[in-house]
Amino acid sequence: MELLVRYLERRSSASSVMTQDIIKEENLRDDLRYYFMSPCEKYRTRRQKPWKLGVQILKIVMITTQLILFGLNNQLVVSYKEENTMALKNIFLKDFRGVDEDDYSVAVYTQHGVYESLFHVLDQYSQLGRLSTGPITYAEDEDGKLLPLIVCKQHYKRGIVQPSDEAYDMDAQLETVCLSHDPKTANLQRTHNSSFFDLDFYRLVDITITFQLKGINLQTVRSRELPDCYLFHVTITFDNQCHSGKVKIFLDTDAQSSTCRDWKISGTAQKNTHYLLIFDGFVILVCLTSAVLCTRSIVLAVRLLQRFSRFFRENYNRKVCEDDQSEFLNGWYVLVIVSDLLAIIGTILKMEIQAKSLTSYDVCSIFLGTSTLMVWVGVIRYLGYFQKYNVLILTMKAAFPKVLRFCCCAGMIYLGYTFCGWIVLGPYHEKVTDKLVRGEQRNWRP
């Protein structure tokens, strides 16, 4: 940097002889000076319009708009899945209070309660058509036969447990027994298979009820998109593996979306998707332009560096030091190019999703989100062109490693403290404080 600065400032001092060499040197000096200018200065000296700046500003607006549109769409899908899960929980779980406790949905503490919850699932499943308000039915296989509901119970192979004698005789291997029900008559099976439903709680590890439901997300019709078809794998688990007298009931749904097989839609849908496609195409164009412009700037910078170092080698027989070389490689350009590439990939994925040939919302949102983050962080660079902001940014840059180093030291102590606290206080925390509080209260009454 030193060398570079000194070189740039030593301007045409006592150069009365205008030889070829001096002209070349002047040229190089001008180019260098121009290279390190901000867009405003460039405009003032050579009247070059700040195309790159304009493209960046346009890009920020477009990418943010696109992200918001995609996000709102995405939210529809996510809320559909969540509301569906909530509806299934309300239908299938007895005494469900509307919110999950800790990580499970319902806890049952008595044998009677377990049986009731279990049969409630079967009853509700058999009359699902009359219950649910949503367009959801039993799934069929390829032949049009209804897929069955499967109840599995997992228990220790053999086990005699006599807590009063402090004695047990167990085979620790797990055995799984399953029963498959036809959906419509699921509620009758419990009388036919009463031996299966005679649970031996000492050996029982868990009961799993699995079934598949199909649904259609008709909501998207209103936002003028084609409805998706969904396949819900529902798993209801009665978890007794802790054998603590508390049976936790979980309900998990795994929703797979796919294009519907056979559809016909009339009315106003699928009209404004064209505009969206055009908009997406325009975003790709802007990102490509931005990427090309930045690549060009990097190439120019590398060439300038080569010219500069050749000149130095020839005239002064000195090498340009590494610090000066790194000045030529602008990190911001790299950031912009990476963000552009991510945006282009994300946009292509988005178009595929809109065309219903892909359903990977997650991957697409990672691409679009990361590129938007980078684009906004990139704005700081343009703030740096203002004198007053520049001071601030340089200060922050200088302070950053010190802050990081402090965090590192504090982190070590924190890590040790965390491990220690987790093991020493953690699991007993509630109990200890409880005891202390109760104890104090009793002692304080003299």
The nearest distance, CB 95 to its own copies, in angstroms, is 11
CB-wise, 31 or 369, nearer to its own copies?
369
Question: Computed from CA positions of residues 364, 369, 375, 378, in that sequence, does the dihedral angle turn out positive or negative?
Answer: negative
Among 45, 48, 75, 193, binds its own copies (CB under 8 A): 75
Residue 118 in contact with residue 152, Cβ under 8 Å?
Answer: no
**Is position 365 an interface residue for its own copies (rule: CB under 8 A)?**
yes
Q: How far apart are CA 230 and CA 233, in angstroms?
A: 10
The nearest distance, CB 410 to its own copies, in angstroms, is 9
Q: How far apart are CA 42 and CA 52, in angstroms?
A: 12
Phi, psi (rounded to 5 degrees) for 394 = -65, -40
Residues in 156-195 that interact with its own copies by CB under 8 A: 156-158, 161-173
Among 201, 281, 300, 316, binds its own copies (CB under 8 A): 201
CB-wise, 42 or 214, nearer to its own copies?
214
**Is position 9 an interface residue for its own copies (rule: CB under 8 A)?**
no
Residues in 96-135 that interact with its own copies by CB under 8 A: 98, 101, 103, 107-112, 114, 130-135
Q: How far apart are CA 226 and CA 181, in angstroms?
A: 34
Among 86, 179, 288, 304, binds its own copies (CB under 8 A): 86
**Is position 227 an interface residue for its own copies (rule: CB under 8 A)?**
yes
What is 16-31 written as a DSSP string?
Answer: ----HHHHHHHHHHHH
Phi, psi (rounded to 5 degrees) for 416 = -60, -45
Q: How far, CA to CA in Å, does 194 sit from each of 124, 188, 202, 275? A: 19, 10, 18, 61
Cα angle, residue 323 at apex, residues 319 and 324 outer, rounded to 5°: 60
Residue 146 in contact with residue 82, Cβ under 8 Å?
Answer: no
CB-wise, 171 or 323, nearer to its own copies?
171
Question: At residue 73, what is the residue type?
Answer: N
**Is position 136 an interface residue for its own copies (rule: CB under 8 A)?**
yes
Residue 254 in contact with residue 213, Cβ under 8 Å?
Answer: no
**Is position 139 an interface residue for its own copies (rule: CB under 8 A)?**
yes
The nearest distance, CB 38 to its own copies, in angstroms, is 17
**Is position 61 an interface residue for its own copies (rule: CB under 8 A)?**
no
Question: At residue 58, what is the residue type?
Answer: L
The nearest distance, CB 113 to its own copies, in angstroms, is 8
Residue 230 in contact with residue 220, Cβ under 8 Å?
Answer: no
**Is position 79 an interface residue for its own copies (rule: CB under 8 A)?**
yes
Residues in 406-425 that interact with its own copies by CB under 8 A: 406, 408-409, 412-413, 415-417, 419-424
Q: How far apart are CA 319 and CA 3, in angstroms?
A: 10
Helical axes 20-35 vs 39-46, angle rounded to 10°:
140
Q: Which stretch binds its own copies (CB under 8 A): 9-17, 184-192, 320-328, 427-435?
A: 427-435
Q: Which stretch binds its own copies (CB under 8 A): 32-40, 43-51, 293-301, 365-373?
A: 365-373
**Is position 274 an interface residue for its own copies (rule: CB under 8 A)?**
no
Locate tokens 């000296």: which residue?
A: 45
The nearest distance, CB 23 to its own copies, in angstroms, is 43
**Is position 93 an interface residue for its own copies (rule: CB under 8 A)?**
no
CB-wise, 32 or 369, nearer to its own copies?
369
Q: How far apart are CA 246 and CA 426, in angstroms?
A: 22
**Is position 202 an interface residue for its own copies (rule: CB under 8 A)?**
yes
**x/- string (CB under 8 A) for its own copies, residues 229-248?**
x----------xxxxxxxx-
**Is position 260 an interface residue for its own copies (rule: CB under 8 A)?**
yes
**Is position 336 an interface residue for its own copies (rule: CB under 8 A)?**
no
